[in-house]
Structures are given as C-alpha cells and as structure tokens.
Amino acid sequence: MTASEAAAVAAIRRFGRFHTRWIGALGGNLHGSGFALTEARVLYELAQRDGCLAVELARDLDLDPAYLSRILKRFEAQGWLDRQRSDADGRAFRLRLTRAGQAAFRPLDEASQAQAEAILARLSPAERGRLVSALADTQALLSGERATKSRPVIREHRAGDIGWVVSAHGRLYAEEYGWDLSFEALVAEIAAQFLREFKPGRERCFIAELDGEPVGSSFVVAEDAATAKLRLVLVEKRAQGLGLGKALVREAIGFARAAGYRRMVLWTNDILHAARAIYIAEGFKLVAEERHHSFGQDLVGQNWELAL
C-alpha cells in the first residue's frame, strides 16, 4: 500500500468514526427518542412505505432477518404496526404503521429535521452549497453510482483551470513515479508561459471535466508557424479507463489541423506507457530519444512527431 493509499484508508475510517458519533449511532437513544439507530431506521422506512414486506426491508437495509423480526415484534406489541396478508403471497404480510406508530415516529422525524436545520443555520449560503455537493459526491463515490451515471465532457480552459493543471501534474507524478518538486516547477513555467503568450486560434487548452470537476488536460502550443506542440496531457486516476486520454489527444490533433499546422510534436518519457500507447495509436512516430536525469529520476526522454 502506498503512502497516499494509506492516507486515504485512514481518512475513510476517520470519517466513519466521526459520522457514527455525530448521528448518535453509538448510543441507544437517538435524538432522545428512546430508539436505537437501527430501530429508528426501520421505523423511518415503515413511515415512508405504503405496505412493504419484511423481506424487502431486510434486503434494502442489509439487516439480518431474525434481528429485523425482533424489532417488528416489538413495534407490533406497542400497537405501532399493522400486518395484512399479501394478496400475491399468502405466506407473507404487508407491513404498515398504525396511527399510533405514525405518532411514535413523528417526534423522531422532527428531531432529525431540527438537527439538519441547526447545521444549515450556522453555514453561509456558499458553505451550504459546498456541503450539499460534498454529501452527494460522498454518497455517489461510496455507493459506486458515479461510475455508471457520470459522463465526462471536454471544454476549453477558464479561470482557475491552469492552476489545477499545475497542481494535478505535481501531485500525480509524485504519487505514481516519485518525481520531485522540480517537475511541478517545470509545469508551472509551461503553464505561466501559455497564459502570458496565449495565441487565440493558434493555441488551446482542453480540460476534461467529470461531475463538474477537472480531471484531465491537454495543451496545443505554437512551436513555430508550421509546428504545433502537444503538452501537459494528463488524466486523474479516478477518471482513467473512460477513454479521456485518447479523447484529449484527439481534440488537440483536430485543433492543430484546423489551425493550419503541418505537423505536431511532443516530448515524453518512456515510462509513461499508457500515454505512449495513445500516441502510437494516433500515428505519432518516435524520432529521437536520450537518457537524462530529471525530477530526481533517471529517465529516457523521447521526441515524437505526427504529420498533419
């Protein structure tokens, strides 16, 4: 396990401990209701559903059926639960809260609502937006929903993007290849020159975005009147496997052709296997290579060229 992976595992476990304490999962009296957390969740689900089966509750809440049965028997003994035999399956019963059950649920629901309102009351509008967005991201990431629902887009750069490019390159190459801060300094110099000397119509920065956040980049800069240079191609780990590297390179090539360049060149290192595979697939030819010591590593630099 790498240092970054260990830090991520620790962060997830730390959040889990915070969350269970914050919602009162460690005690047996959620919001002063007298309900343990699991009992409160079962009561909530019953209040939201109009006649459900115990097997459905056990599945959706990932509860042991025997444990759920004991909770339901307690609710029934209190007069909170009504059972009606299912029309579809005579062996099963549809579960509904009685009026007394709804009355028992109401203070718990109101306390949970008040807790959420109290949190929002101490936050600014901007902070509330950040919280809602972060909660949605957390749920999507932990559940795996993001992988099936998200669609990346590629757009031109805007204010703030170039700073992200520098940061992402420095972080990713340090994590993946152990490159030192001199690489981030080089990227910062390239990025600053791009902003200072930007030539509209002749140069372009493409940003790949996923769920409203930048996750990839590619740059086209003018080497000379006939030659475009491809630079700073990157895809974040969480967006890899979506074809974004190839898409970013193709956007750059298409732009260079439309801008009237006759060839495109790039410099890379032989250890960047995924990037090199994309360049080869798009028709780039290796024209030169040499060993060098840069960014704290012994590397083999390569020059590639594509006729446009």
228-240 tens-digit pLDDT = 999 999 999 888 8
Tokens read off for 108: 């718990």
pLDDT confidence tier of residue 251, bands split at 50, 70 and 90? very high
What pLDDT does residue 130 have? Answer: 81
Give the tokens for residue 12: 């997830």
Contact (CB, 8 A) for 183 and 201: no
The CA distance from 105 to 44, in Å, is 7
Task: Assign 8 a pLDDT band (cuts: 50, 70, 90).
Answer: confident
Instruction: Report the Cα 209 to chain-centroid distance in Å.
Output: 11
CATH code for the domain of 28: 1.10.10.10
What is the distance between the alpha carbons of residues 124 and 130, in angstroms, rounded to a whole number? 10
Q: What is the pLDDT of residues 162-213, one digit of tens each?
A: 999 999 999 999 998 999 999 999 999 999 999 999 999 999 999 999 888 8
pTM, rounded to two decimals: 0.57
How confident is the model at residue 114, as a pLDDT?
Answer: 85
> How far, in Å, CA of 120 to CA of 131, rounded?
9
Q: Which pLDDT band holds residue 29 (cuts at 50, 70, 90)?
A: low
Which tokens in the block code for residue 32?
């002063």
128 within a domain of the structure (yes/no)? no
**In the chain, what percentage of residues exceed pLDDT 90?**
46
Structural domain for 59, as ranges: 3-122
CATH number where 201 lies = 3.40.630.30
Looking at the structure, tell me whether residues 171 and 295 fall in a common domain: yes
Residues 111 and 158 in one domain: no
Shared-domain flag, residues 197 and 52: no
b/e sequence 221-251, b meaning 16+ C-beta within 10 Å: bbeeeebbbbbbbbbbeebeebebbebbbbb
Looking at residue 51, what is its pLDDT?
76
